Structure 1
Amino acid sequence: MAEYLVALGLIPIPATIVLAYILCLVVYRLHFSPLAHFPGSKLAAVTTWYEIYYDVILGGRFMWEIERMHQKYGPIVRINPFEIHVKDVRFYNTLYTGTTKKRNKYPWFIRAGAPGSSFSTAEYDHHRIRRGIISPYLSKRSVRSYEPIIQQKINRLCEHMLDTMRSGTEIELHISFLSFAVDVMSHLSFGPSRCFNLLESSSLSNNIRWRKGIKALFARLIPLRHLAFLVLLFRTLPLWLCALVDPSCADIDFVEKSRSVEESGIFSEILRSETLPSSERALDRVSDDAKFFIIAGTDAPSLAMAVIMFHILRDFEVLQKLVEELKTALPDPAKDPSLSRLEELPYLSAVIKEGFRISSVVTTRLPRIAPGEVLEYQGWRIPAGTPVSMSTYFIHNDPDIFPEPNSFKPERWICYSPDSNLDQYPTSFSKGGQSCLGPSMAYSWCYLAFATILRRFELELFDTTEENIKTIRDSFNAQPKKGFDRIKVKVPRQRK
């Protein structure tokens, strides 16, 4: 009996310890943390569960809560116990600087990605090594050499447009451009014989599994960011089990098969390279880069292309002006356009710039850490080693920079005053030493695809409204209201 009473008396002690720890943690985070003096929600400063509630329970809604915090507290806010968010484009080049100052990625933020990829490499010097392996393949010069491959895939896409016209049905643009993007990237990544050939499907709607798979993968990124043990679990699953969750995973074994000496793909060359350290050409690491290359390098640009096409087709004046420019530059619609010639067209260039601005498909914030530098913003001193983030979506929708930001106005890129210098503001591909590697590729796709398709075909939106492209949720990339992720068009006739 005595032993029972002793045990009963000890029960509150662990609970007391836990409560005392929580209380001390709350007091520390609110009053003694290096970030305690920064404005923001007190609840967000105390616990990451505040972010989990908006991003996991409500589903990708934390970006809007960050915006609400800025509206209430100002341009600099503490959004969780460890991170500062700034909403002021003038700070952008300070945070996302070039090679002159080191910026690390925030390990917590990127841990749900493929750990061996350059994207998921946090430390600046290591990231620069991995970035340097891939960047030559995505330089403007290299992209020029890919032009015949890109145009070949666009022509195949046009054959599907022609089939759609003849059948009187409709075609979904995101799936169409995603099929094109996957074929280009898999062709370049693994060699022509290992191209995924999504465009060879009898109907592009069959490729919806790819869109669903990639969408599901991005949807997992945010929860996995908070639940690290699940990241390790997914990494240990066999390929066949991963394929049950995401069918596109089954295609990743092409990386291993790409060791074949007769293949000429990017990752084939990396795997066979004798100049790289063995750790950087190990199969697991190269596979991680290939996965990210195929997934991130196809979904975001294809979604942007679909959204841009929506805006073009919705505005009759924009469409007519663009088509007239294309008719002058390309008298024969059957002839393949030249990328260098298209880049000289002012209105097409303005349409693409405005399209990347208004689509803002990468909605996630991108934290950076200045490891040995105190960052300063309007009198605020941000301690070295603090994760600091900004959001492209907020910059591209800032009415002080882009009046009427919700309106698609290509003319703003032609008629702006020299003092405004709008070209410094687009941040679709981020900036600095850890920016996206693919802007040259993405722009080439837009130039060649829009010019070819709009010169050859008349397109009309079908069963598609603003609701289909309106950003509601952040799932790394922009997501509309559930059930509205489609942009459909009909193809009534060919152009002469």
Structure 2
Amino acid sequence: MCTKIGFLSFHSQLPLKRLFSCSYRITMNSLTELFSWQRILVAVIIYFLTVAIYRLYFHPLSHIPGPKLAALTRWYEAYYDVYQNGQYTFKIKELHKEYGPIIRISPYELHVSDPAFFEHLYRQEGRWDKYAWAVDAFAAFGATLFTPDHSLHRARRHPLSPFFSKAKVSSQQELVLRHLDKLCTRLTAFVTSQQIVNLGAAITAYARDVANDFVLGKSYNSLEREDFDEALVATSSGGGQIWRLSKHVRFVAPLLKAVPVSWIMKLGDSGTKMFFRHLEETMQDTFKLAKVAASPSDKGRRTIVHAILDSKLPPSEKTPARVFEDVSTITGAGFETTASALRLIIFHVYANPNILHRLRDELAGASDTLEWKVLEQLPYLTATLMEGLRLSPAIASRMARVAPDRDLSYEKWKIPAGTPVGMTLVLMHSEESIYPDPYRFNPDRWMDPDARRTLDKVFAPFSKGTRNCLGMHLAWAEMYILVATLVQRYDFKYQGAKSEDFLCVSDQFAIGTKSEGVLLATVMQH
């Protein structure tokens, strides 16, 4: 007690300023010692060690086989995604050979390579979310295609489904034929001039004009451009590269969306400028349609904008900005996926005389009409299209699904509720045990009715379940009509193209190929 009194008495005689100065030095020295770089380094090491131990030994997915580095960090995936330009899909294939049919491909995500599991994971029954980490990287939060939540996706998709129904597409065949006539007019001109045509760009222009016209009531006339808007073909793969980077560096896509278009128009290359001009025009047309569609006196052609605005969705879902995200993603996905499959199909049809002759014989014995309902009854034409879609399905990336309200199971493994689980179409469609000689273009594998019934269970070029492709009927109609027409009218001689140029070699979300959409050919009249 005396000691304490003496201590206080002594300090009470010090000047107040000096007392505060001493206290300040003591405090700062303590803080400096507390936050020294050595202590911070130790804290960081302890944190990461704790996270590593948890993810490897205590995480709910720790019992699932797979590489330890993938279980520790997403940067394992980032190496193959970003540095190796979309190779994680193919690395996953290698990992399955090493670890088995179910593997842990990140700290949070699983992948299954077993076609028998496909119908259990991609089905109509139950609630199925998309993996938000993957789809949010597009920064298109209003788009139905990239909506993670099951209920919100179902609400957004409800007014769109009738617009893309088979009956609706059948009633719009004249639209498809109109653009096909434009394509044929251009190709016939190349017969006369004997100039080399980029048939890949021409096919893409056809698919792009059909998709835009069907969805928005305006084609933008890529088929009438001298080079078929060739630069847009190469630019389309850029979105996949940005998406892969944005998955791992989350601010990339939102930052790019915030960049003024005027800057891009000054600094971008010709393809980028063309892409953004098209995007700007599409946005303006969407906003105009939204304004007109809101008027009771609107008697114009019904578009996807009308379908959304006339629906029971709440006003927050009918803003022009939200509607535009649906328009842009649906048209973009619709033309590139169809064009990719068509480029592969057309190459193989004309590179294999036996396939070409069998198609011509079948078409010669059919009706002269180009009606979709007639063409889809032709078995060899159908088999040819199916084989093309097997090798070039809608997307190259895995399609993770999340069951948020229940556990799943695969063989002896329990999958906790809320776990993203994916399968990859390009891997399933090239499974050698199901498709012998999987990279050979062979329509005959679909000709036997019994074999086809078996294969149909593991054939899903447009996916299946609650998230299957909205535009699959339009894609089928475009492919039937285009292939039947070209086969009957033209011959093509290719310039240096190889079959491997049209196979998937990179995950661009869509199919990334060596050809990048280019197919050079000389055109001859049949």
TM norm structure 1: 0.93
Residues 12, 478 of structure 1: CA spacing in aligned structure 2 closer, same or farther, 3 A cutoff? same
CA distance in 1, matches of 2:367, 2:173: 17
**Residue identity matched to 1:352:** L
Residues 241, 366 of structure 1: CA spacing in aligned structure 2 closer, same or farther, 3 A cutoff? farther
Structure 2 equivalent of residue 35 of structure 1:
61
**Residue identity matched to 1:112:** A
Structure 2 equivalent of residue 311 of structure 1:
348
**Residue identity matched to 1:250:** E
* 2:126 equivalent to 1:101: yes
Moved more, 159-168 or 36-45: 159-168
Structure 1 residues 363-386: Cα deviation after superposition (integer angstroms, max 9, x where no partner): 100000011121111111111110
CA distance in 2, matches of 1:434, 1:129: 12
Residues 434, 274 of structure 1: CA spacing in aligned structure 2 closer, same or farther, 3 A cutoff? closer
Contact 1:189 1:267 in 2 (8 A): yes
Superposition pairs of residues 273-422 of structure 1, within 5 angstroms = 273=310, 275-330=312-367, 337-360=370-393, 362-417=395-450, 421-422=454-455
CA distance in 1, matches of 2:311, 2:375: 39
CA distance in 2, matches of 1:484, 1:129: 36
CA distance in 1, matches of 2:413, 2:54: 20
**Residue identity matched to 1:408:** F
**Residue identity matched to 2:253:** V
DSSP-derived class of the 1:60 partner = coil
Contact 2:216 2:327 in 1 (8 A): no
CA distance in 1, matches of 2:452, 2:166: 28
Give the Å deviation of 1:346. Answer: 1.1
DSSP-derived class of the 1:101 partner = coil
Larger radius of gyration: 2
Contact 1:242 1:249 in 2 (8 A): no
Superposition pairs of residues 155-194 of structure 1, within 5 angstroms = 155-191=181-217, 194=218
User: Runs of 5+ in structure 1 lacking a partner?
Assistant: none
CA distance in 2, matches of 1:126, 1:484: 35
Structure 1 equivalent of residue 281 of structure 2:
251
Q: How many residues align?
A: 484
Structure 1 residues 9-32: Cα deviation after superposition (integer angstroms, max 9, x where no partner): 722222222111111000000000
CA distance in 1, matches of 2:314, 2:301: 20
**Residue identity matched to 1:393:** V
Give the Å deviation of 1:172. Answer: 2.1
The correspondence for 1:267, drawn from 299, 304, 321, is 304
DSSP-derived class of the 2:466 partner = coil
Structure 1 residues 410-450: Cα deviation after superposition (integer angstroms, max 9, x where no partner): 11111253596222221111110111112111110110001
Give the Å deviation of 1:478. Answer: 2.0
The correspondence for 2:466, drawn from 405, 430, 433, is 433
The correspondence for 1:115, drawn from 141, 145, 153, is 141
* 2:478 equivalent to 1:445: yes
* 2:228 equivalent to 1:198: no
CA distance in 1, matches of 2:198, 2:44: 54
Structure 1 residues 270-320: Cα deviation after superposition (integer angstroms, max 9, x where no partner): 464264321221111111101101111111111111111111111111111
**Residue identity matched to 1:491:** V
Structure 1 residues 72-114: Cα deviation after superposition (integer angstroms, max 9, x where no partner): 000000000000000001111111111x211110100101222
Structure 2 equivalent of residue 490 of structure 1:
522
User: Runs of 5+ in structure 2 lacking a partner?
Assistant: 1-24, 293-297
**Residue identity matched to 1:224:** S
CA distance in 1, matches of 2:364, 2:452: 33
**Residue identity matched to 2:238:** A
CA distance in 2, matches of 1:447, 1:438: 15
Structure 1 equivalent of residue 256 of structure 2:
234
Contact 2:156 2:313 in 1 (8 A): no
Give the Å deviation of 1:240. Answer: 3.9
CA distance in 2, matches of 1:186, 1:361: 18
* 2:513 equivalent to 1:480: yes
Superposition pairs of residues 5-154 of structure 1, within 5 angstroms = 7=32, 10-98=36-124, 100-113=125-138, 114-154=140-180
CA distance in 1, matches of 2:83, 2:460: 29
